[in-house]
Structure 1
């Protein structure tokens, strides 16, 4: 039997997950981690390469032991990671500096870029699908101002998924789906964007050689084998950005396929043509791990975090399960409660209103924990539906169904709400580790088990029967969506006037 090991370097934890040749999870070990802020620099969030590699290596050793397999049976290893986070290496490959995806130190640099050249951001977005909000350019300019000695020594930039490959094999490579989130490479041909490098004053060779997901890049070194418990010489295969490669694990492999990934943030993603553009700079467009495709992405902020906040602050000691069970008895529409948290995706100027709950009743039955919990679940679906409508309008295609994955998808009730609000059938994945499964699919493809990532995704995805929308609720939820949109616009005027504080705003917004 052949097995595949996937490393997943996420925002809040690192994991090692082992799958068998049929895509079944055999063992998983995770380690929570946090990214320290440098007290000198507000908004900074550093990534500790040595400590976090130690965590990942230990996870691999323990996963192999937990699976009870011979490391020689692991046919290939790959990696996925949070996007936007990157590592700078010197000419020997040694790490110089690294940041996590949530790093937001470059606020002044974004403002300065916009002031110096108002047209630059749109030009870079047209080329790369990325705005200044999450891109690498402002952070690199920050380094130029505050840590020039680091930038002077930088020879290569890798994303965390490729940093893992370097730690495993010594190979310095770039993979488009993750590197694309820096805004430094083009969406279509994946070549460096000259205008971005001109702003930094660094050579385009900062980007290592580009390889496709599913490509063997090297072999596990003796040093990495001693750390991870893997067999020396095990093939090391390029993986990809967590969102893009995660959809492989869901079987989202054709143009127009659609998924909602419900975690701390909710991501609404649709496979689109690689040459699709968005003149309004509303959506994020990322290179895909699949050839010829990109992924249009909209992000709902803090959706899962809001549910945890409500449970801990107002749930009166009840669990999620208990709160949801009580909320099932609240009628659709949740007595008109309007939650104000995440806005729809506005990538060009990304600001969210102050967290609020509007239109509460003094009747405790209509504004108690159960009613608010249902309102929050419905609001997550309302924002997701609005984001998806933007993607569908841009692509000119509405899918036949939505695949729902992540922690929120464990709830059949929430799944039904998403179907009712969007008006589309919703299918849940039976796979809890879809992101790691996508990376394992890359390892399996690279070592010859499949002819393509798409073939691997179709073979390994495991979906439940669809939950169909209730057409009788469509008018109610359309009206609810319109009221939320109007209320959100009014709340944004308070933020702009300085009366309330934004829940989150992108650097420079």
Structure 2
């Protein structure tokens, strides 16, 4: 039987997941990680290419051993990764600099760009769907100022998904669903915005060969084979950004389809036609992997990380499952607790308030771990709902259902909360590792099992459960959402006033 391997470099973990020809998950191996801050540069978030590659290679060996399959039956491997993170390579291909996705060191550079070229960000957004918030342009200018010798040595820029495939095959490529998050690819043509680079005095030839998801870019080398346990010569197939591969794995491949992917970050995505962008610049628009489509997207920051923080800091050794079991006894509304963590998407003015829990009771029954855990779950759904409604208003289309996937979707309780808050039918997939499954879809397409990505995504997507909204709760959750929005606005003002410290802010938004 043929098998397909997906390698995923996520924000909070690295993993390898093996699938068979039917799309069934056979085995998985992963390890949590985080990314170091360089103490010299506030807001920095470095990506350790050597250490993290060792982690991913070990995951590959472990998943092959756990599956007990003949490695020769693994027909193809592909890669997916957190978006926005990128790697610079020198003329030999060696990695010389890398950052993780929410690296925010280039704040001064954003301020300078806006002062010197006041129309440039809007022009870039109109063509790429991206602002400076997580884009590559300010970071490259930061390098030009702070590490000019590194930028001078740079000959290629790859995203992390491309970098994994380079480690496997030795081929330097750029795939648009992830490469588009640099803010330097055109949404329609998928070609580099060389004029923007030229305007600010940056090299215009950093992008390597552009490929499409599902393209075979090379084969696993002997060196990579010894590191990963994959056979030399295994097909290496272009993958892409984690959100887009997740949508592909869920079968979200038609215009109007929407999904919520619940991981370290929560992404709310809706497929939209080419040419659509947001006049307010609140939402981002990314290239879809499927030809003729883009994706409007909003992001809830650190949703999964907040749950991990609460489990580790306040759970008294309880697991997520145990905390959730306790929280189910808490009534909807969680006794009025208002969590303040991620804001709704404000791509043009993107910063979050200081992490806070408001309206806590000193009665442990009303303000203890169970109530807070439920409040965090409800708040994740409230932020997602408000983000989705912004996309629906932009696109002019409101679907009848959404797909909920990722680690959070393993919780039936959370899926029901999401249905109750949004008022939409919520479906969860049989395979919760949608991002990895979409990556394996790309590998299978590259190996010739499917004629197109859309066909492959539809063939492997399977619904496990469906959750119907409880309409009697809609008023309660609408009121809770309004209260949260009012409280969050005040909390943002406190950050602006310097009273509190933002959980995260995009470069150039504060200070």
TM (normalized to structure 1)? 0.96
CA offsets 1:289-339 (integer angstroms, 9 cap, x no match): 111111111111122222233334444554433332232222222222222
Q: For residues 302 and 69 of structure 1, what CA distance do their matches in structure 2 show?
A: 36
Contact 1:140 1:200 in 2 (8 A): no
CA distance in 2, matches of 1:374, 1:500: 25
Q: 1:165-220 CA distances to partner (integer Å, 9 max, x unpaired)?
A: 12222221110000001111111111111343124534432111211100111112
Number of the residue aligned with 1:210: 210
The DSSP-based 3-state class of the residue aligned with 1:253 is: coil
SS at match of 1:465: strand
Which residue number in structure 1 is paired with residue 470 of structure 2?
470
How far, CA to CA, are the matches of 2:79 and 2:46 in structure 1?
20
Aligned to 1:488: 488
Match of 2:417 in 1: 417
Distance change >3 Å, CA 467–CA 236, structure 1 → 2 = same
Shift of 1:30: 2.3
Say how many residue pairs are matched.
Answer: 509
Whole-Å separation in 1 of the counterparts to 2:369 and 2:427:
28
Query: CA shift at 1:8, angstroms?
Result: 1.1
- State whether residues 339 and 358 of structure 1, in contact with CA within 8 Å, keep that contact through their aligned partners in structure 2: yes
Aligned to 2:242: 242
Structure 2 CA distance for partners of 1:309 and 1:118, relative to 1, 3 Å: same
Structure 1 residue 441, shift from structure 2 partner: 0.7
In 2, the alpha carbon distance for the partners of 1:224 and 1:454 equals 30
Unpaired segments ≥5 residues, structure 1: none
Q: CA deviation at 1:412?
A: 1.4
1:72-91 matched pairs, under 5 angstroms: 72-91=72-91
1:99 is aligned to 2:99: yes
Judging changes above 3 Å, is the alpha-carbon distance between structure 1 residues 11 and 372 closer, same or farther for their aligned structure 2 residues? Answer: closer
2:507 corresponding residue in structure 1: 507
Aligned mates of 1:370, 1:121 — CA distance in 2:
44
Separation of aligned partners in 2, 1:76 and 1:319: 36
Contact 1:23–1:460 (CA under 8 A) maintained in structure 2: yes
Distance 1:322 1:60, change over 3 A: closer
Alpha-carbon offset, residue 379 of structure 1: 1.4
Alignment of structure 1 residues 175-190 onto 2, 5 Å: 175-190=175-190
Give, in angstroms, the shift of residue 363 of structure 1: 4.4
Q: What corresponds to 2:398 in structure 1?
A: 398
Comparing 31-40 with 461-470, which one deviates more in the overlay?
31-40
Q: Distance in 2 between matches of 1:312 and 1:450?
A: 43
CA distance in 1, matches of 2:259, 2:237: 25
Contact 2:256 2:272 in 1 (8 A): yes
Q: How far did residue 362 of structure 1 move? A: 4.7
SS in 2 for 1:505: coil
- SS of residue matched to 1:298: strand
After superposition, the C-alpha distances for 1:30-86 in whole angstroms (9 at most, x for unaligned) are 234443333332322222323322332232223223222222211111111111111
Aligned to 1:454: 454
What is the distance in 2 between the residues matched to 1:323 and 1:32? 20
Shifted more, 55-64 versus 297-306: the winner is 55-64
Q: Is 1:341 aligned to 2:352, yes or no?
A: no
Alignment of 1:315-394 (within 5 A): 315-394=315-394
Residue 338 of structure 1 contacts residue 357 of structure 1 at CA under 8 Å; is this kept in 2?
yes
Q: Please state how far the C-alpha of 1:244 moved relative to its aligned partner.
A: 0.3
Aligned counterpart, 2:259 = 259
Evaluate the alpha carbon distance shift between residue 315 and residue 18 of structure 1 in structure 2; reply closer, same or farther with a 3 A threshold. closer
2:154 corresponds in structure 1 to 154
Q: Secondary structure at the match of 2:104?
A: coil
1:400–1:92: structure 2 CA closer, same or farther, 3 Å change rule?
A: same
Paired residues of 1:45 and 1:103 also in contact (CA < 8 A): yes
- Asked whether the equivalents of residues 429 and 465 of structure 2 are also in contact (C-alpha less than 8 Å), the reply is no
For 2:343 and 2:35, locate their aligned partners in 1 and report how far apart those are by CA, in whole Å: 26
Aligned position for 1:304:
304
**Over aligned residue pairs, what C-alpha RMSD do you find?**
1.8
User: Is residue 443 from structure 1 mapped to residue 443 from structure 2 by the alignment?
Assistant: yes
CA–CA separation in structure 2 for the residues paired with 1:318 and 1:230 = 37
The residue number in structure 2 matching 1:15 is 15
Task: Tell me the alpha carbon deviations over residues 213-248 of structure 1, each in whole angstroms, 9 at most, x when there is no partner.
Answer: 001111122222232222222221101111101111
- Superposed CA deviations along residues 318-371 of structure 1, whole A, max 9, x for unmatched, are 443333223222222222222222111000001112222223345443333332
Deviation at 1:123, TM superposition (A): 1.1
In the alignment, the residues of structure 2 paired with residue 319 and residue 71 of structure 1 have an alpha-carbon distance, to the nearest angstrom, of 35
Sort the Cα spacing of 1:70 and 1:359 in 2 relative to 1 into closer, same or farther, 3 A: closer
Q: Relative to structure 2, which stretch is displaced further, 137-146 or 458-467? A: 458-467
Give the gaps of 5 or more residues in structure 2: none
CA contact under 8 A between 1:35 and 1:46: conserved in structure 2?
yes
Alignment deviations for residues 83-138 of structure 1 (CA, whole Å, 9 cap, x no partner): 11111122232222222213222111111112222221111111111111100011
Alignment check: 8 A CA contact 1:259 1:269 kept = yes
Matched with 1:123 is 123
What is the TM-score of this pair, normalised by structure 2?
A: 0.95
Q: Distance in 2 between matches of 1:15 and 1:287?
A: 24
Q: Is contact 1:81-1:161 (8 Å) kept?
A: yes
SS of structure 2 residue aligned to 1:397: coil
Whole-angstrom CA distance in 2 between matches of 1:286 and 1:264: 19
* Preserved CA contact (<8 Å) 2:141 2:202: no
- CA 1:169 to 1:314, structure 2 compared with 1: closer, same or farther past 3 Å? closer
Q: Deviations over 1:458-509 (max 9, x none)?
A: 1112212311001111122222212221222122222222222222211111
